Amino acid sequence: MFSAWSPVVVLLLLLVLLLQTGHGRHIKTRREVITSRHGAVATDHGWCSRIGRDVLREGGHAVDASVAAALCLGVVSPASSGIGGGAFMILRLADGEAKAIDMRETAPRRASQNMYAGNAASKASGALSVAVPAEVAGLHEVWKQYGKLPWKRLVMPAAMLAFKGFRISPYLHMQMLRTESAIFADAGLREIFTINGTLLQIGDICRDKRLADTLKSIAIHGPGSLYNGPVGIKLIRDIQKSGGVLTMEDLQNYEVKVKKPVSADFMGLEILGMPPPSSGGAGMILILNILAQYGIPSGILGSLGLHRTIESLKHMFAVRMNLGDPDFVDVSKVLADMLSMKFAEELKKTISDNMTFDPKHYGGRWNQLSDHGTSHLCIVDSSRNAVSMTSTINSYFGACFRSPSTGIVLNNEMDDFSIPGNVSANVPPPAPANFISPLKRPLSSMTPTIVLENGQLKGVVGASGGAMIIAGTVEVFLNHFAKKMDPLSAVMAPRIYHQLIPNVVMYENWTTVTGDHFEIPADVRTALQKKGHVLQALAGGTITQLIVHNLEDSKAHHGVLKGKLTAVSDPRKGGFPAGY
């Protein structure tokens, strides 16, 4: 009987069987992964990926698409990022030039080291927690140098979204529920995220005509409308009326910093990352340098490989709190150490394959800092210019303060500074390198990353998720580039996190807004516990974006290889990529 079946029928039956079992998990089509020939955009939200894709299709540069997509994210994902916050961007041009654009918020001129003495809560939320918004200034600065399309063309899609409205996504609704009391406590947030005394629900239309007017003004008149014009005047008035210390002088004198990325070689790949005040680039490189000594990939596989990754994370967190804003603190020695293979070799000697240790073992002198949520985007254009950008307003809905006159949700980035405080026997003191000074930029975990191979673009990766960003980015990078998982599987694999203090391994165990369940296997957890790790289940973590450039099927154009692009948006937040 079976001999009469054609080979085609047999193959179809095998495919059906695979899809009915766990072995074919990623064979079926998922919207979170696409393959495109010309350009690709991966963001936290499908609308923003499409808006960025349309810019590329019109001949826009990767920078053009990053402007449009980032501003879109600020509208449809207002709990995570927006024009009231800041960002870090790694830009790598097709001709080989690479830049790190620092559009991090700065402390106001009236800020001081002890400004929160006796009122620690005002550091975490409210108008006094607001640092100088920087995203628009940074986007415009990089657009001036590399943009191809008109500024207005890039800003207006976000303005139209704010005006016409967007549907509340399941992930945004989760963020609203977790911030419900703060939303109702702030008149500005309450105005657009509630109706008849209740929160908007999943699928409800959210409109913000004030924000639409602000974005339209920025589209027509440029960033001067915010930094030295009517939007800024209204914004400062709202902030000061609510007890904040920002002034027009703070806005007028904000300075975007353009720097050289930190870089390192790993397995024949070159990694480009963000320098301080981000700890992400140096932190990622330190972890990879430690793990490289175990042999790749054999030394990082299984529960033992996960244990080694955790131990490397703990060492990184111990060292990174010595970093700070290099305009205020000399970080040259600690930065050189974090990028040094010799330093990594010394740290590796202190790692045991049989057990973990308490935080003092790792030599950290300072208490950790927990930065919070963010958005990330990855973009590659038809010329193979690439952008990796992480933007933030810090906590969910930032300062939980929406300017009623402008619709701008403000950051609470002042909470990313360390402050002097009482020191107990069980908790290390706060890190002086990250103390508040006027105009200073706080330490960050944001890890926008670009990967090269033999001088050609190989990948773009990054994550949102506060202090867990470095771990999430490292794990996805290793999954694909070291363990050779396909791009979707690299993003879908469950993740673990450690921040040294508390001395706890947080492991994914949750079902996301898309219905996917992520959980570190029980046998792996048991093996980690036998080494002394304390484990805690985590319903959340990082949201990663990944674009992989397939050089194997590429063709050379004026010395630049152009292959297919595979873009993945993390299903944990419900986003999806777009390309053409």
**Any bridge partners for residue 195, and if so which?**
198
**C-alpha span between 262 and 567 (Å, rounded):** 24
Neighbours of 336 (CB within 10 A): 11
Helix residue ranges, H only, 275-359: 280-292, 302-320, 332-338, 341-348
444 is in an annotated binding site: yes
Give CA–CA dist 172/160, Å, rounded: 19
Output the six-digit token pair for 224.
Answer: 């001067």
Say if residue 466 carries a ligand binding annotation.
Answer: yes
Write the CB contacts of 97 (distance below 8 Å, at least 6 apart in sequence). none
536, exposed or middle or buried, with CB in 10 Å at 0-12, 13-18, 19+?
exposed
In the three-class reduction of DSSP (H, G, I as helix; E, B as strand; rest coil), residue 162 is classed as helix
b/e per residue 352-379 (b: at least 16 CB within 10 A): eeeebeebebbebebbbbebbbbbbbbb
Longest dimension (CA), the chain: 85
Alpha-carbon distance of 127 to 5, in angstroms, equals: 72
| Rounded-to-integer distance, Cα 280 and Cα 477, Å | 13
Active-site annotation holds for 447: no
**Token pair listed for 286:** 């330190």
- Residue labelled with tokens 């014009």: 229
Catalytic residue among 214, 374, 512, 544: 374
Whether 354 has a binding-site annotation, put simply, is no
- Total residue count of the chain as it appears in this document: 580
**Residues 367, 431 contacting (CB under 8 angstroms):** yes
Tell whether omega for the bond before 297 is within 30 degrees of 0, i.e. cis.
yes
> Is 179 marked as binding a ligand?
no
Write phi, then psi, for 62 (nearest 5 degrees): -55, -35
Integer Cα distance of 398 and 196 in angstroms: 24
Amino acid identity of residue 503, one-letter, is N
Which residue shows structure tokens 């800003």? 155
Is 445 flagged in the annotation as binding?
yes
For residue 58, what are the CA distances in angstroms to 22, 39, 42, 49? 41, 11, 18, 14
- Alpha-carbon distance of 68 to 139, in angstroms, equals 10
Q: For 247, how many CA atoms within 13 A lie in the half-sphere containing its CB?
A: 9
CA 116 to CA 415: how far, in whole Å? 10
CA distances from 519 to 21, 481, 508 (A): 18, 22, 5
Cross-strand partners of 507: 496, 537
Q: Is 25 annotated as a binding residue?
A: no
- What dihedral do alpha carbons 518, 491, 478, 20 form, nearest 10°? 70
Catalytic residues: 374
* Residue ranges of the binding site: 104, 392-394, 416, 444-445, 466
* Residue ranges of the binding site for L-glutamate: 104, 392-394, 416, 444-445, 466
